[in-house]
Structure 1
Amino acid sequence: MTTDLRVLRPEQWDYWYGKLILAFGGVPEAPEEMELYRELTEFDRSIGAWDGDTCVGTAGAFSFRLTVPGGAPVQTAGVTMVSVAATHRRRGVLTSMMRRQLDDVRRWGEPVAVLTASEPGIYGRFGYGISTAQLGLRIDTSRVRLAAPDGTDDVRLRFAGPADKAVVEACEAVYGRVAAVRPGMLVRQPGWERLPLLDPESDRKGSSPMQCVLAERDGEVVGYARYFIKPQWNDAGPKGIIELRDLEALDPAAYAALWRFLFDVDLTSTVEARNRPVDDAVQHLVSDIRRCEPWLRDSLYLRLVDVGAALEARTYQTPLDVVFEVEDAFCPWNTGRWRLTGDAKGASCRPTTDPADLALSVRELGVAYLGGVSLSALAGAGRVREVRPGALAEASVAFASDVAPWLPHGF
């Protein structure tokens, strides 16, 4: 089947987005959520697949900057709003949109593309791999104690209106400083500060409106927490749940002060956090990690669109000189041998005819790119092949990140 791929026009957005909603089950979103995504949509970076006058596929790409190891914010395509009508599945619609989109991303000069997948099995054939994970916690605060570090009592906490302009600006300043040092975080562009503030009443399911607490020291905001409270009771008394959306802080004392506050909220006995970094320090403050019920889930899927530019954009933990033999059937301009030389100060990556040290596909290179998954682990699964003895250990150590990569919110 042949479909016509067209760039989205502003007057088509309602119809186009309606097709996206239908493909995801047809349950309407809250009006405020739809309005936000309408404003964030970049029309010249969004496409529809058309069968005559009917839109049968949707795809978009936000203009992002993604923090990579070393702290550089790399121009990145945030792939989003991808759908295919149930009437047109298995006819090549998705493949044609992915082909067009990756060609566009390359033309835009963005070396990396990222997405969050509705189903894990969809995007591997287009070169995307799982680059970050998220930690979930369900903490029994009636049984778990928190050991706060020195200085925690010096942090002042106060309630604040989550959407107040000054509060949003202060929280975004904290977020920006955290995002500059943790790979996988998005450097939020104007308008995106509204995403974590979305609080449709229809989505609360018995929870309170969003609440916000600021952590301050010497009059400066050094952390914040946004959360909801779901009151619950049983015959023994109150069993309320704190549903944590965001918690960021600039130092250990502010961080611990915010967590201690959440542990001590009256009429609650559980804190639920569904998306935290896998190395979140709260795991080392609690008295009983088992009663925090930790679990992991896949999060950010990443693809290298331009292998050379992407590998040059980050730094490396130890000096590295390695030749990769890269296979990339979907974006053949990446296929071939690439010599990567780099250290903690910078890197160079160029095509070469030198013998390969490691052989892998572009998918595995993307999985390891942010430093959260080691090349050695991928080799253990048979997905990286060592050609030169010793090259695997050298590259695996160099690619690592001091802090785990993490995506704090979807898009």
Structure 2
Amino acid sequence: MALEIRTIDDGDLTPWVTAMRTGFLTAPTPDKEEVEVRAAGMDLARTQGAFDDGRCVGTFRSHPQRLTVPGGAQPAVNAITNVTVSPTHRRRGVLSRMMARDLAAAKERGDAAATLVAAEYPIYGRFGFGPATTSAAWEVHITRSALDRRYAGPECGGRVDFADGATVREHGPGLHERLRAQRHGVVDRTERWWRFATGDLPSPMGWKEPFHVLYRSPEGRVDGLLTYGVEDQWTAMQPENKAVVRDLIAVSPAAERALWHYLFSVDWITTVTTRDRAPDDLMPLLLPDPRAARLTTQADLLWLRPLDVPALLEARTYAAEGSLVLEVTDPDGYAAGRYLLEAGPEGAVCSATSRDADLTLGAGALGSLYLGDESAVRLVAAGSVTEERPGAAARADLLLRTPRRPWCPDIF
């Protein structure tokens, strides 16, 4: 029997979750509660399964997402997640067929781009995606930092207080929206995200209650949130506990300094680890000895696939005034064309043109350049972009690069 790719219905939920867990190498059989919790957050019209003789062997789901781009606009994009193909059914075009169906629907809806987080790097470039943000993980050895740990509250006159899950659900969403307004690369968080993060919904991945800390400015405004867990460890009756940062949101430098200083000053904590932080995070610079913060991982996180090039390029602002003609190649056709970009700090106009191209690049390369993290000059040197006119790559970098690097703190 030929493999069938189709949109799933309620009766497919348990086998679909089973196939997803199998693909992600977790215990394959879900309990009833997990299926119900997952189903409540799924749009079945955007959820696909691959079936072989009635057995689900592939999973694919997408959902609406808002992505902050340089300048603060938040175009609608198509976020892809829960992608698996069972090991028994690889190399049969299962992922290609599910991806084609989803991207066609996203294009028809008018989404400017598609996004995903790639577990394996080589897979998604062939579908027109390019890595668009970089994520960093740190390990901080507090005893080597030369930090004065005699903590007496924020020096700015604000305050730091513990909070419970209900308080975080009250203040966290608005705080995160303020962060999104000022930091490109950040994606929106749903109410379900906050409920999972605070234990109000049972997480399929398991959950252990963390500590939540809010920073309030001297005027009483909530400008920061820190969520962390602690791994208990003692050696020869000496505490050597590790704090594991799950989330740190700060919308002012004062809030960021106050939350890090608080955490670095907690008694019994000798090591702090983080994940999914910005590649240009301020944290090491807040230590008297920045070498105490060791970069343990730096890797791509958010991948972006252009679907509507004019809409995407017109959504963001640019560092300088200038124009650029881009020849975008795309075997799937969604982004293919030659486009004139006339850009500046106030915005841009992008339209089809017959002018000679300045740069020729694939959809994935455009995805990598779009948020400003990658360099066109670098991609030309690597052979991923062709410079048709001398100096065009440098001009592209002048327009596209941003003072702070894009940051996506969330895996979806």
Map 1:31-110 → 2, pairs under 5 A: 36-110=37-111
Which AA in structure 2 matches 1:40?
G
SS of residue matched to 1:355: coil
Equivalent-residue separation in structure 1 for 2:10 and 2:73 (angstroms) = 33
SS of residue matched to 1:113: strand
Which AA in structure 2 matches 1:308?
P
CA contact (8 A) 1:137 1:273 kept: yes
Which is worse superposed, 28-37 or 83-92?
A: 28-37
User: Do the aligned partners of residues 387 and 126 (structure 1) sit closer, same or farther apart at CA in structure 2, a change above 3 Å counting?
Assistant: same
Map 1:351-362 → 2, pairs under 5 A: 351-362=352-363
TM-score, scaled relative to structure 2: 0.92
Task: Provide the aligned length of Structure 1 versus Structure 2.
Answer: 404
1:373 aligns with 2:382: no
Partner of residue 191, structure 1: 192
Which AA in structure 2 matches 1:98?
M
Map 1:197-346 → 2, pairs under 5 A: 197=198, 203=206, 209-217=209-217, 218-235=219-236, 237-294=238-295, 295-329=297-331, 331-346=332-347
User: Do the aligned partners of residues 21 and 356 (structure 1) sit closer, same or farther apart at CA in structure 2, a change above 3 Å counting?
Assistant: same
Q: 1:193 offset after TM fit, Å?
A: 2.5
Which AA in structure 1 matches 2:157?
D
Describe the superposition over 1:335-374 as per-residue Cα deviations: whole angstroms up to 9, x where unpaired: 2211111111121211111111111111100001111112
- Structure 1: give runs of 5+ residues left out of the alignment: none
Equivalent-residue separation in structure 1 for 2:44 and 2:336 (angstroms) = 31
CA contact (8 A) 2:158 2:220 kept: no
Which AA in structure 2 matches 1:383?
S
Partner of residue 157, structure 1: 160
Partner of residue 365, structure 2: 364
Partner of residue 8, structure 2: 8
Q: 1:309 offset after TM fit, Å?
A: 1.5
Equivalent-residue separation in structure 1 for 2:246 and 2:34 (angstroms) = 16
CA contact (8 A) 1:146 1:285 kept: no
Q: 1:167 offset after TM fit, Å?
A: 2.7
Partner of residue 122, structure 1: 123
CA contact (8 A) 1:135 1:276 kept: yes
User: Do the aligned partners of residues 30 and 3 (structure 1) sit closer, same or farther apart at CA in structure 2, a change above 3 Å counting?
Assistant: closer
SS of residue matched to 1:275: coil
Q: 1:169 offset after TM fit, Å?
A: 2.1
CA contact (8 A) 1:129 1:364 kept: yes
Describe the superposition over 1:223-281 as per-residue Cα deviations: whole angstroms up to 9, x where unpaired: 11000011101126110000001111121122111111111111110000011101111
Equivalent-residue separation in structure 2 for 1:159 and 1:7 (angstroms) = 45
CA contact (8 A) 1:318 1:398 kept: yes
Which AA in structure 2 matches 1:4?
E
Which AA in structure 2 matches 1:14?
T
Describe the superposition over 1:303-360 as per-residue Cα deviations: whole angstroms up to 9, x where unpaired: 111222211111111112111111111x224222111111111212111111111111
Which is worse superposed, 285-294 or 267-276?
A: 285-294
User: Do the aligned partners of residues 292 and 33 (structure 1) sit closer, same or farther apart at CA in structure 2, a change above 3 Å counting?
Assistant: farther
Which is worse superposed, 2-11 or 172-181?
A: 2-11
CA contact (8 A) 2:145 2:288 kept: yes
SS of residue matched to 1:223: strand
Equivalent-residue separation in structure 1 for 2:373 and 2:367 (angstroms) = 11
Partner of residue 348, structure 1: 349
Q: 1:285 offset after TM fit, Å?
A: 1.0
Q: 1:11 offset after TM fit, Å?
A: 3.3
Which is worse superposed, 401-410 or 267-276?
A: 401-410
Which AA in structure 1 matches 2:322?
L
Equivalent-residue separation in structure 1 for 2:230 and 2:188 (angstroms) = 29
Equivalent-residue separation in structure 2 for 1:140 and 1:35 (angstroms) = 42
CA contact (8 A) 2:239 2:268 kept: yes
CA contact (8 A) 2:168 2:198 kept: no
Calculate the aligned-residue CA RMSD, in Å. Answer: 2.3
Q: Percent identity?
A: 36
Q: 1:375 offset after TM fit, Å?
A: 1.3
User: Do the aligned partners of residues 248 and 145 (structure 1) sit closer, same or farther apart at CA in structure 2, a change above 3 Å counting?
Assistant: farther
1:390 aligns with 2:360: no
Partner of residue 113, structure 1: 114
Equivalent-residue separation in structure 1 for 2:33 and 2:181 (angstroms) = 29
Partner of residue 21, structure 2: 21
User: Do the aligned partners of residues 189 and 175 (structure 1) sit closer, same or farther apart at CA in structure 2, a change above 3 Å counting?
Assistant: same
SS of residue matched to 1:134: strand
SS of residue matched to 1:265: coil
- 4+ residue runs over 6 A deviation: 29-33
TM-score, scaled relative to structure 1: 0.92
